[in-house]
Amino acid sequence: MHPTRVCRLGALRLSLLKRTQVRGSYRRLIHSGAQGNDQRKAYANSKIFKVSDEVREATETGKPVVALETTIYTHGFPYPDNVALATHLESVVRNNGGIPATIGVLNGVARVGLSEKELTELVNPSSNTELMKVSRRDLPFIAGLGLTGRKINGGTTIAGTMLLADLANIPVFGTGGLGGVHRGGENTMDVSADLQELGRTNVTVVSSGCKSFLDIPRTLEYLETQGVCVATFSDGRQGDIDFPAFWTRESGVPSPMVIQNAEEAAAIIHASELFRSNGMLFANPIPQEWALEKSKIDHAIEAAVTEAAEKGFHGHRNTPFILSRIKELTDGKSVPANRALVESNVAIATRVAVELAKLRRPELNTSALHTPVISASEFRYTKEAALYGVGKNESPETTSRPARTIPVQESSQTVKITSPQQKVDILVAGAVAVDVSCNYTPFDKSVDPQPLIHTSNPASISETTGGVGFNVATAAQYASKSNSVQLCSLIASDTAGQLALSAMDEFGLRSDGITTLAADANTKTAKYVAVNTTGNDLFVAMADMDILGGARDDFQLQWQNKIDSAKPKWVVVDANWHPSSFKQWITAASAAGAKVAFEPVSTAKSQVLFPQPSTAG
């Protein structure tokens, strides 16, 4: 290569690098609002802070991400119910069009985007690793000790989750109930760190208000002093709206502000970024069918709070004791109500994140994402520079390409909270898949109707949603409008999975039996490819059903509770499941008193489940 050209190309690259760095620094400074925040965010994926690949890619490309805490799993629900709840809440996020980012501390490392394996390790009581409840104050302690070799696990509180979510550039967080000013807090100074975190960390929290046993008026006063915007979703109500009280929709305390829907919430977040560097609280009332009777829950709260004071439960020991006593005093009714409100909050938080991503999408297409423009005085034409797409007689300005539009994962799906009285007549356990039909269309219509082998063939190709489980569920729903139908299946967070959810919505099928797994090289929504003759008769087909056919050990976590709550009259199981899962479906259905039907799918798959007995010797 000519030395002059090497020099000029080197200068071109250096100029590109400098301009990219300057623009990148400016964008990060604007995004974080302060240089200190920018420096802290530079520690992402260090020895003490890890962001999963899925979450990092989503935040970098403008996809909607929702933060989820882990204290609810480590200190709120027993094992393995906590793993089942965590998996379900992540599925709620995915079904509503978002990317879940479950946050916790594992072996001394703060993690944003825990995998299923990591989450199970975090909450499993058989683990010998020390477990803590982690707020802002605890993060340096637990991470620092991790550097010395002392490995500690931690479930993050709202405050701890907000801090880590902000470091990972996640603006929306769905959870259960906020901490607040405890009763008598004017004397004890027992005030949750959640409130101050909202006053200084740029994350919006969606919760069912604060926990009912707190001093709600003083909590709202404290948030007002911190400059925190507090608004309550109207949920179809008109006029003045109460700030919710966790297990009840009314608290007797008016909400400072009222919002109608996720679009308004997202618009407020979007607009507020010019004025603030703190958080916001959007209160979502518990679904009506799960709300507890106010007089009864108030009585239980009074008794639990009094008992806690008499027994000396203060600080971080206070809330777990009170929640445990309320569970006992309500005969366990507070627990399913807690699950329902968390699920509802996570669902609406995801819809807010989706709407926010839509509003931010134009900003992602600004010139900051373009190839930097180089002035004519800085540019010298060389053959090597031509490889970068700049012609000899072109100015760099004319070669700047428009920014690529970054897609935002959207979904019309809304996860509905199943009423405690709602049962299922027919439960179908089987595959939902994307069917790809390739109909052979030869140029010469007089040739053999079958496609040629070992070469490509002209065809008309179409995609539809199918799968044996989906087809059976759809047929059952059409056959009898009086019978309720639920499809239980697995999909991945890929395009095919979104297509399947949209089709279920179009056909009126419930989606609360669908579990969405994070897509990767080994986890994909099922797909069936059929190659047909000119007469649309099947010539050959291929099916990738590994998402169901692989061996899994989580039947009790994923499916047992669905059968128990549905109490179906019929359970239809197809042959796409792994033999161990298939056996568990049959056993669980029989134990629930349901009639069982088998869909064989194909001869090959049926023989795997029911191998012919050996006739040897």
Digit-coded pLDDT (tens) for 35-71: 445 445 544 558 899 999 999 999 988 999 999 999 9
In a domain, 245, yes or no: yes
For residue 227, pLDDT over 90 is answered with yes
| 7 vs 467, more confident | 467
Inter-helix orientation angle 262-272/334-364, to 10°: 50
* In a shared domain, residues 186 and 325: yes
In a domain, 448, yes or no: no
Number of Cα atoms under 13 Å in the Cβ half of residue 594 = 26
- pLDDT tens for 460-500 read 998 889 999 999 999 998 887 788 999 999 998 888 888 88
* In a shared domain, residues 345 and 261: yes
Beta-bridge mates of residue 67: 101, 173
3-state secondary structure 334-396: HHHHHHHHHHHHHHHHHHHHHHHHHHHHHHHCCHHHCCCCCCHHHCCCCHHHHCCCCCCCCCH
Mean pLDDT calculated for residue range 388-400:
38
* In a shared domain, residues 583 and 597: yes
For residue 242, pLDDT over 70 is answered with yes
Of 361, 385, 414, the residue at which a domain comes to its end is: 361
Taking the whole predicted model, whether its pTM rises above 0.75 is answered as: no
- pLDDT tens for 549-590 read 887 777 877 788 788 888 899 999 999 999 998 999 999 999
* In a shared domain, residues 208 and 335: yes
Structural contact between residues 301 and 326, judged by C-beta atoms closer than 8 angstroms: yes
* In a shared domain, residues 209 and 338: yes
Rounded Cα–Cα distance for residues 428 and 486 (Å): 6
Q: Pick from 337, 346, 254: which is nearest to 294 by CA?
A: 337
* In a shared domain, residues 271 and 149: no
Rounded Cα–Cα distance for residues 193 and 575 (Å): 52
For residue 397, what pLDDT is reported?
Answer: 37
- As a 3-state breakdown, the chain gives helix, strand, coil percent values, each rounded to 5, of 45, 20, 40
* In a shared domain, residues 190 and 117: no
Q: Residue 39: enclosing H or E segment and its boundaries? A: helix 35-41
| Total number of domains constituting the chain | 4
For residue 114, pLDDT over 90 is answered with yes
In a domain, 162, yes or no: yes
Of 169, 185, 216, the residue at which a domain comes to its end is: 169
| Mean per-residue pLDDT of the chain | 81
Mean pLDDT calculated for residue range 302-321:
79
In a domain, 442, yes or no: no
What are the structure tokens assigned to 272, written together?
Answer: 């507020």
For residue 25, pLDDT over 90 is answered with no
Q: Is 201 helix (H, G, I), strand (E, B) or coil?
A: coil
From the candidates 90, 118, 197, 211, which is the catalytic residue?
211
* In a shared domain, residues 21 and 65: no
Q: How confident is the model at residue 422 (pLDDT cuts 50, 70, 90)?
A: low
For residue 315, what pLDDT is reported?
Answer: 65
* In a shared domain, residues 287 and 250: yes
Of 169, 188, 222, the residue at which a domain comes to its end is: 169
Degrees (nearest 5) of the Cα angle 428, 498, 435?
65
- pLDDT tens for 509-520 read 888 889 888 888
Mean pLDDT calculated for residue range 336-353:
95
* In a shared domain, residues 21 and 139: no
In a domain, 458, yes or no: no
In a domain, 515, yes or no: yes
Phi, psi of 118 (to 5 degrees): -65, -40
Least confident of 166-170, 345-349, 567-571, 607-611: 607-611
Percent of the chain with pLDDT strictly greater than 70: 81
- pLDDT tens for 119-161 read 999 998 888 889 999 999 999 999 999 999 999 999 999 999 9
For residue 525, what pLDDT is reported?
Answer: 93
583 part of the active site: no
In a domain, 339, yes or no: yes
In a domain, 414, yes or no: no
Is the backbone of residue 568 left (phi > 0), alpha (psi -120 to 50) or beta? beta
Phi, psi of 269 (to 5 degrees): -60, -45
CATH number at residue 512: 3.40.1190.30
| 365 vs 305, more confident | 305
* In a shared domain, residues 551 and 516: yes
Please give the C-alpha separations between residue 224 and each of 190, 219, 256, 602, in angstroms, as whole numbers: 18, 9, 9, 64
Percent of the chain with pLDDT strictly greater than 90: 49
Q: Containing domain of residue 140, as a range?
A: 43-169
Q: Pick from 593, 548, 601: which is nearest to 570 by CA?
A: 593
* In a shared domain, residues 179 and 319: yes
Mean pLDDT calculated for residue range 289-302:
88
211 part of the active site: yes
CATH number at residue 92: 3.40.1790.10
Least confident of 190-199, 240-249, 363-372, 467-476: 363-372
From the candidates 54, 69, 197, 355, which is the catalytic residue?
69
For residue 133, what pLDDT is reported?
Answer: 93
Q: How confident is the model at residue 32 (pLDDT cuts 50, 70, 90)?
A: very low
- pLDDT tens for 190-207 read 888 999 999 999 999 999
